[in-house]
Amino acid sequence: MPKIMDYMISPYPLRIIDPKLDASMLRLTAIRIGQAGHLPGRTLFRRGVVFGHWALVYIAAGSGSISENGKAAQQVRAGSLFFFRPGCSYSFGPPPGGSWDEYYINFMGSRADEWLEGGLIAGGSVFQTGSPEELVSFFEEVLSLMDGGVPADADRAALRLESTLLECSCLFSEHPRFRRQGTLTEIRGDLEACIYEQPDLPGIAAKHHISMSTLRRLVRSGSGYPLHEYMHRLKMAEAKHLLLNTSLQVKEISGMLHYSDPFYFSRLFKKYMGLSPQLCRSNVQ
């Protein structure tokens, strides 16, 4: 692999921080930050680079492009945020004669899989941010924490990364590739509106232009529960609210929530709430 000297990357001094401590000294073993850096005025364009870890990259100024696995190049400009994911090939950088101001953080560990599943990280897309000062401040903070070689500060940097990714995940959900997450929020609202009705699930699916199987899959992936159980849980949560805040009888509440058999309703309530409706009402604290 060719060696790339600092002066080949940028005409300005680079700030590249490698971990200065043994990973066994960290308390957060599921996630750790590797190398972090700031490359002001980067001029180098790299082709076919494969990384063995995740990386978060932020372009604070300038412009250029990035291509993943040989796909069409995406434009990058000031305020762009994107990820490198392990095992993928990237060609990226500013155009000939141009430059960009780049911050990056490499990270690894089993928690990255949870972040991926939860939508905190995403590959293959360039996202545009609206708070450059906040993101520059975040990257500078992580660089500062990692620079000292103190295990507790490295753990703090990892936690800071997670909190920032959580805030940025709202940005990812607005991207066309992730609009289905917005659809799930709307679906949840429609299901909650059916608590006092017999839900028209095929109608809800049709409203969102999806099949019943897709509706079931979205609810399961978003809540962790099958669709029918999710509906029961919504109704039982409302039943608990009514038991604690009204004088309605169990039979009345059962009927209002479209359970014709009060005994079946009570069994469901105990299953999901952990106690009977009567005990729920008598155990108000």
Closest CA to 33 of 126, 139, 183: 139
Phi-psi group of 83: left, alpha or beta (phi > 0 → left; psi -120 to 50 → alpha; rest → beta): beta
Domain residue limits, the chain: 6-174, 179-282
- pLDDT reported for residue 53: 92
CB 139 within 8 A of CB 105: yes
Give residue-wise pLDDT tens across range 266-277.
Answer: 999 999 999 999
CB 191 within 8 A of CB 231: yes
Q: Give whole-number Cα distances, 80 to 7, 85, 97, 148, in Å.
A: 24, 16, 20, 28
Q: Given 3.40.920.10, 2.60.120.280, 3.30.70.120, 3.40.50.150, which CATH number is that of 6-174?
A: 2.60.120.280
Structure tokens at 177: 């590739």
pTM attached to this predicted model: 0.63
The residues with which 103 forms a beta bridge, in sequence order, are 38, 58
Strand residue runs (E) in the chain = 15-17, 32-42, 46-50, 54-68, 74-77, 80-84, 89-93, 100-108, 126-128
Distance, in Å, from the CA atom of 259 to the CA atom of 62, rounded to the nearest integer, reads 61
Closest CA to 81 of 100, 53, 108: 100
Residue 44 has pLDDT above 80, yes or no: yes
CATH architecture of 179-282: Orthogonal Bundle (1.10)
- pLDDT reported for residue 121: 85
**Cα dihedral 272/182/59/156 (nearest 10):** -10
Give residue-wise pLDDT tens across range 191-218.
Answer: 999 999 988 999 998 888 888 988 888 8
Residue 42 has pLDDT above 50, yes or no: yes
Q: What is the DSSP letter of 23?
A: G
For 217-229, give one letter per residue: b (16+ CB within 10 A) or e: ebbeebbeeebeb
More confident site: 182 or 275: 275
CB 33 within 8 A of CB 149: no
Q: What is the mean pLDDT of residues 103-117?
A: 89
Closest CA to 48 of 79, 16, 85, 90: 90
Closest CA to 80 of 166, 171, 154, 163: 171
Give residue-wise pLDDT tens across range 140-165.
Answer: 999 999 998 899 999 999 999 999 99
- pLDDT reported for residue 231: 93
